[in-house]
Structure 1
Amino acid sequence: MANVVGTKEVVGMNLLELAAIDSGGQRDLVGGKAAGLAALIRLGERVPDGFCLTTTAYAGGKVPRAEVLAAYERLGGGPVAVRSSATAEDLPHASFAGQQDTYLGVTGGEALIAAIEACWDSLHSDRATTYREANGIPHDRVRMAVVVQRMVDAEVAGVLFTADPLTGSRSASVVDAAPGPGTAVVDGKEAADHYVLDGTQVSERGCLTPARLEELRVAGERIRDLLGAEQDIEWAYGRDGKLWLLQARPITTLFPVPPPSDKPGPRLYVEFGHVQGMLQPATPMGMSTLKSMLAGMLAAVGLTVEIVDIGGRLYGDLTDALRDPSTRQRLVELMAVDFGPRAQKVVEHLLDDPRFAPRKTPRKRDAAALKTAPKAAAGILGALARPARARARVFGEIERLRRLPVTDPATAAELLDLIERDAESSTRVDAIIWPVVSGIAVCAALPPLLKGVASEDEIHTVLGGMPYNVTIEMDLALWDVARSAEPYREMLLTTPPEQLADAQLAGTLPDFGLTAFLERYGIRSAAEVDVGVPRWAEDPTPVFTMLANCLRVTDPEQAPDRRFARAGDRAGSMLAELAGRARRERALRGRLAGFFLCRARELTGLREAGKFAGLYALRDRRRRLLLIGAELHAKRIVDRPDDVMFLELPELRTVVEAGADLRNTIAARRTDHARELRRRTVPVALLSDGTDVETLLPAPPSEDDRTLTGVGAASGRVTGRARVVHDPSDASIEPGEILVAPTTDPGWTPLFLTAGGLVTETGAVMAHGPTVAREYGIPAVICVPNATTRIRDGELITVDGAAGRVTLDR
């Protein structure tokens, strides 16, 4: 398409014609919007003529009237569009859409000067300031440029998204359009015609013809391919019928698309991390470690699943299991037990999707599964027959790993050789995995076994106060530390946690039992399965925050050890009641139910043991990686020792052996990781074109503004103030407050020592958070959509764990 922009001369540092902006490092001079328009011009797209008042002029604090008015005259005067173009605008991770000002139809020199000044002022508006803070952009590094363009006399205008911003599908473009200049579309003040261009028939109703929709679709694909990212494009059709492009910027809200696959599509990917209570992204080194560990765990039970990295999260490709006639129905049951109700609903929905219809394929004998089956049967039956012996093996193995002598080679190359060996080689998997699987299996068997005899809430009661859980033992050990720390209460409550952590590491704090706690549990942290995350032993700041929470408990009846004991007593009484009910209905069924209920109490608490045992290998790997990083940092090959966490092992090998300079790669990955850390929601399931499958599900029945519905995961009913938490490291939970979080993992559970209830946006009934909540006897409701945004911090809410409802006191 021909470039219709006029002169390309540089008018001066205060002003630049749009066509004179080069493709190099002028973004700091012209801002994001002007840089985007200049890119379109260089691509040969039709863009209205205009100029940019640069950040140099903004730094001067006064509009250069003569230069602006001269440039305005060169445009021919008349109506122009005046748009903000901040340096932190239209970024790959932050669009700033609507955060700073735009003025359309500005006519006359004085009105133009006033509009430019208003754009400058909008840099410091409340909405722009808040947006920068939410995206981690320092205020003092942002400058404002202003774009002035000739107005298009628009017949119709609107916005084109080259990917569907609602579903995430890269297979569809979306267009919103309205007659006139398009302000109704951009501002959202009036209804616009909405079109989804996915290859199906497009309705001829509305303000755009099929021909124009096709022209927009082709233009969008062309610009997306040339700029290398999905685009949000503002456009207008002039009265002459020509298509003008007014702006193009990356779509910043999309979750990353799955990596390309050579298998027939579409593919279904289910997120694994939320089962472990981890939604934050893993570092690149953490991801490579997680993938190998998870593959090893699945292989130990005879399963083979392709694990992929999408946005720093672990996803498993379950397509083949969904299409296999012999496994597709069982997959629904697997989702319910191991992945939670959100994943279960996704799989149930896709059973009716013709793209995932059953396919008859030649049956392959799974050699790994056949080899594992006898070992699995023996391990599970042995644990069921002798649970005490099984527990002794599990905890004996954990103790052996804790005491295992560790030596580290002297050089980075030797350390890397050691790291590249099997990280799990020191762990006797069979000693742990089959007792853990046995506990999960008997727990999963209880609902069908007790169908018609017990409600889900009653079964959850049986699972409360569960013994033999290493995470519960950790939390109660911290409670013991808090009681020993009473003489230092004032110091611990008034000193910032980070100062206390520094003093602990320096050895200047009095010893009230925390040193021994960290010796045993310092291998833990939030997101502890990521080797790139510091452990509590390295940075005990979160432990001091949680210790302060414990010290605020003054009611003896709210003491965590008493709450845990009460939950255990209720569980024992309910177990006897349910076993009796089952026997009265049918003797054989009653005996079987009683056996499984007892075994659940004896084995289900072990579910945390497998992960805990694996933390020792992660601890050693992390230490060795940081030793390598320290050596590379001393040689000035990397900027920081922990830069190694943003490389994968083969890359680290090139750095260690050849001195490869990968600092630009590391910096880019740190930026990506920081962006993903700010992401508040993660799709539980994705299709290969990026579609978030949950967006395809039928809308749930409407509910009133005061009632939020989720899944009951721990029985009971409690009313208290909500405490919305995204990061447990600095979270203060007053006794009785209800923890509202995206998800929780074992590193969060010390917060439960003072919490009165739990609400999460994701999870599974058998995941860490609900398990620990049941064992403390606090009500929990999981899978509440958008709980952290719909519930206001500090507001009074009621959590009903039996009904799976949260009621807001509004």
Structure 2
Amino acid sequence: MDVLELTAIDRGQRDQVGGKAAGLAALLRLGERVPDGFCVTTEAQHRGEVPRAEVLAAYDRLGGGPVAVRSSATAEDLPDASFAGQQDTYLGVTGAEELLEAIRACWDSLHTERAIAYREAAGVAHDTARMAVVVQRMVDAEVAGVLFTANPLTGSRSETVVDAAPGLGTAVVDGTTAADHYVLDGTDPEERGCLTSAQLTELGDVGERLQHELGAPQDVEWAYDRGGTLWLLQSRPITTLFPAPPQSEKPGPRLYVEFGHVQGMLQPATPMGMSTLKSMLAGMLASFGLTVEIVDIGGRLYGDLTDAMRDPSTRQRLVKLMAVDFGPRAQAAVEHLLNDPRFAPEQGARRRGTAALTTGPKAVAGILGALARPAAARARVCAEIERLRQQPVADPSTTAELLDLVEESGQSSAGLDAIVWPVVSGLLVSAALPPLLKGIASDDEGRTVLGGMPHNVTIEMDLALWQVAQRAMPYREILLHTPPDELAAAHLANELPDIGLSAFLDMYGNRSAAEVDIGVPRWSEDPMPVFTMLANYLRVTDPEQAPDRRFERAAARAEAMLAELAQRARRKRPVRGRLAGFFLRRTRELSGLREAGKFAGLYALRDRRRHLLLIGADLQATGLLERTDDVMFLTLPELRTAVERGDDLREAVAGRRSEYARELRRRTVPVALLSDGTDVETLMPAPASDGHTLTGTGAASGRVTGRARVVRDPASASIEPGEILVAPTTDPGWTPLFLTAGGLVTETGAVMAHGPTVAREYGIPAVICVPGATERIRTGQLITVDGAAGTVTIEQPVTTDVTMNP
């Protein structure tokens, strides 16, 4: 059927009527007041001719007169993509010929440049998009506008936001007028502007009702006619909100802080990866004497720090802990909330579950032992890593036994002490330096000491890949001009000459970007990112820019600065100066181990992943999964039901893959959330900016000017020597890009996190925690990175002939 009345549309007809018509039909089924209308279906658009007779008959049933003609694409009003304003709407259309032309124009708007670009950004395939058209009786609006049942700026689900203006609502939606703005928080609304208090109360009630009935926060278009009657013109999910934290049984507002950005991982974890990460993180925190509830919000790991915030004995120490373990952005958010009365300290005994920021005798012994004999501590770490690398892995004969082994492996912590306390010792001496050097050295001088740090397994990995690149020089042209995926396939088929890559992957093939997620393929499975990095290395032609030489120069500067600061400290403050000198030396001997703990843990993840994929292969063979790696989109209890009872989980996997893909497209992740979904950073004063200088946190000393290269995925990134890498975040899987970069800018991180650590060790300036860096800086722009000042200055706009690289 080419034309359907809105009242005749069923739930399962979205593909025929598009998102807007389906949403209006849902409102009608709920008994809401919606202007009468009909829909010209996608079947008519597919044929390419407006069904004139049917359309005009439906128009006559409306009584003729002015109507609104609105696009209703199948890819419109989705949970993660609104397509707001991307396709056309025509208001006040009168007469048969004008109506038919407006319908054709709506069809044509499916193929405008802006609609095509939006679909590409939203990951919607062009060949799946179809256009229906909604025709509705015009409302003679006295006042109209939009209603959000959650605050779209802060994310708060406890606030409703209304924008309104006299007349049609298009001026509000299009942003062409200064609308009256109202924020409703459950108290009696104040009457002002173009809406009465009664109308605001009615809108608030409608929003609450729609959110409850439709199951998600809603973006609602509405209008009051000249008789004071409220009409609903549209309701769709708010697509920009970050998911809210799960409901907590604990009292009061809760504070959740995100763990992943410090580890350089903003992308969501797979469900299997999330379950593994939760257990790993809980074990790590327990080793520090911390008990923190860990929750999944939008596929990211968040810790509930509310009890520590309210405990008088821990709240001030918590801020200091944030600087080391969570980074400047999270630290600033926590400091901001210390003055919030909702998180005021509560007197009395520490409640059960409060984070205990203490260390036990085992920790003290481990730390003191590493400080006393750093070489022996490093030797123990290396021996344990090598033991894990060469540890034989057994493959049980049945799927059930494989699953038993997977579950048991998640509870093992063997060898942890041999690694964790030397690593912690390195972190502690690095953290102790700033107060010891206060009044003696600048922050920039202190960071110089951290450059060219030895004993860092990630640096060793990057330099080992550089050596592979040197061996590959005879094949430079082939490696530079063959697509990386083709090279990866040839390597796996043993069709490439020996350049040392197999030996490299034997040592480091268990790594990847987002490597802490067990659901992510390792380099040994898919070496395409490694070939991309090799191509970047092969572009380095200046011997002085060779990564090993850069590292050596950074190390030499660090040793010289160490000697100078130690002497300066002893001269100014003899007693404290000797202690500072000791900590400076121990920093050089132990801080490089900070990557060792994570690297060692990857071997257990490698084995666990291998066993899970074997289970996935068995379930695929029996038809319970579509693909082997679908197993990564299940939880262990679900996997148990599939193995023991034969449950078909393909539908569940498909839904989670879709949600995972949606979250992969998310550009920003809040570092701190309140339990109502409020992004804490939106409550803080915005830093002053002149439009050209962006402010962050200096993380690696130096100053460099160069062309920006904005990169969101390291797997396919091409970066020319000297370009400044601008990224949302970085983890060890990104660090090979640093070997050719002239500088680093990130939106998240911590001074002691992976990216800044490696940047210092290569001697490249780095500024972290620059809000919106990947949006405000464009590839090709000339920028200056000042690691001492913590600023990024945009020197000139991007030129039109620069090749853009996503």
**CA displacement at 1:370 relative to structure 2:** 10
**CA displacement at 1:661 relative to structure 2:** 1.2
Contact 1:154–1:237 (CA<8 Å) still a contact in 2? yes
Among 437, 442, 462, the alignment partner of 1:475 is 462
Contact 2:550–2:762 (CA<8 Å) still a contact in 1? yes
SS at match of 2:780: coil
Among 173, 182, 185, the alignment partner of 2:172 is 185
Among 352, 359, 363, the alignment partner of 1:376 is 363
Among 31, 42, 56, the alignment partner of 1:44 is 31
Alignment partner, residue 736 of structure 1? 722
CA distance in 2, matches of 1:261, 1:462: 44
CA distance in 2, matches of 1:216, 1:442: 57
Alignment partner, residue 697 of structure 2? 711
1:799 maps to amino acid: V
**CA displacement at 1:369 relative to structure 2:** 6.6
Contact 2:311–2:354 (CA<8 Å) still a contact in 1? no
User: Is residue 35 from structure 1 mapped to residue 35 from structure 2 by the alignment?
Assistant: no
CA distance in 2, matches of 1:518, 1:135: 35
2:746 maps to amino acid: T
**CA displacement at 1:422 relative to structure 2:** 3.7
Contact 2:221–2:235 (CA<8 Å) still a contact in 1? yes
Alignment partner, residue 293 of structure 1? 280
1:663 maps to amino acid: R
Structure 1 stretch displaced more, 381-390 or 371-380: 371-380
CA distance in 1, matches of 2:533, 2:353: 47
Alignment partner, residue 613 of structure 1? 600
User: Is residue 657 from structure 1 mapped to residue 644 from structure 2 by the alignment?
Assistant: yes
Alignment partner, residue 17 of structure 1? 5
1:757 maps to amino acid: G
CA distance in 2, matches of 1:698, 1:199: 25
CA distance in 2, matches of 1:367, 1:193: 44
User: Is residue 634 from structure 1 mapped to residue 621 from structure 2 by the alignment?
Assistant: yes
Among 570, 580, 589, the alignment partner of 1:593 is 580
How high is the sequence identity, in percent, across the aligned residues?
A: 79
1:575 maps to amino acid: L
Alignment partner, residue 460 of structure 1? 447
CA distance in 1, matches of 2:399, 2:658: 26
Which string of whole-angstrom CA distances, capped at 9 and with x for unpartnered residues, describes residues 428-457 of structure 1?
100000000000000001111111111111
Contact 2:291–2:353 (CA<8 Å) still a contact in 1? no
Among 477, 489, 496, the alignment partner of 2:483 is 496
SS at match of 2:741: coil
User: Is residue 349 from structure 1 mapped to residue 309 from structure 2 by the alignment?
Assistant: no
1:296 maps to amino acid: G
CA distance in 2, matches of 1:368, 1:202: 40
Alignment partner, residue 439 of structure 1? 426
Alignment partner, residue 5 of structure 1? none
CA distance in 2, matches of 1:622, 1:794: 39
Alignment partner, residue 317 of structure 1? 304
**CA displacement at 1:480 relative to structure 2:** 0.3
**CA displacement at 1:426 relative to structure 2:** 6.1
Alignment partner, residue 581 of structure 1? 568
Alignment partner, residue 119 of structure 2? 132
User: Is residue 517 from structure 1 mapped to residue 504 from structure 2 by the alignment?
Assistant: yes
1:398 maps to amino acid: I
CA distance in 2, matches of 1:202, 1:804: 43
Contact 1:48–1:244 (CA<8 Å) still a contact in 2? yes
How large is the RMSD of aligned CA atoms in angstroms?
1.2
CA distance in 1, matches of 2:232, 2:464: 63
SS at match of 1:466: coil
Contact 2:308–2:354 (CA<8 Å) still a contact in 1? no
Alignment of 1:111-130 (within 5 A): 111-130=98-117
Alignment partner, residue 726 of structure 1? 712
**CA displacement at 1:205 relative to structure 2:** 1.5
Contact 1:714–1:778 (CA<8 Å) still a contact in 2? yes
Alignment partner, residue 331 of structure 1? 318
CA distance in 2, matches of 1:294, 1:348: 24
Among 468, 480, 494, the alignment partner of 1:507 is 494
CA distance in 1, matches of 2:190, 2:283: 51
Alignment partner, residue 666 of structure 1? 653
Among 223, 226, 234, the alignment partner of 1:236 is 223
Alignment partner, residue 802 of structure 2? none
User: Is residue 429 from structure 1 mapped to residue 423 from structure 2 by the alignment?
Assistant: no
The 1:47/1:235 distance shift into structure 2, 3 A limit, reads same
SS at match of 1:334: helix
Which string of whole-angstrom CA distances, capped at 9 and with x for unpartnered residues, describes residues 675-708 of structure 1?
000000000000001000000001222x212111
Which string of whole-angstrom CA distances, capped at 9 and with x for unpartnered residues, describes residues 457-478 of structure 1?
1111000000000000000000
Contact 1:401–1:427 (CA<8 Å) still a contact in 2? no
Alignment partner, residue 798 of structure 1? 784
SS at match of 1:747: coil
Unaligned runs of 5+ in 2: 797-806
SS at match of 1:275: coil
The 1:369/1:687 distance shift into structure 2, 3 A limit, reads closer
SS at match of 1:189: coil
**CA displacement at 1:372 relative to structure 2:** 5.5
2:9 maps to amino acid: I
2:79 maps to amino acid: P
Alignment of 1:213-252 (within 5 A): 213-252=200-239
CA distance in 1, matches of 2:425, 2:395: 36
The 1:17/1:397 distance shift into structure 2, 3 A limit, reads same
Contact 2:288–2:357 (CA<8 Å) still a contact in 1? no
**CA displacement at 1:340 relative to structure 2:** 1.0
SS at match of 1:807: strand
Normalised to the residue count of structure 1, the TM-score between the two structures is 0.97
Among 675, 679, 684, the alignment partner of 2:671 is 684
Normalised to the residue count of structure 2, the TM-score between the two structures is 0.98
Which string of whole-angstrom CA distances, capped at 9 and with x for unpartnered residues, describes residues 562-619 of structure 1?
0000000000010111111111111111101100000000000000000000000000
CA distance in 2, matches of 1:163, 1:103: 28
Among 49, 58, 63, the alignment partner of 1:71 is 58
Contact 1:424–1:617 (CA<8 Å) still a contact in 2? no
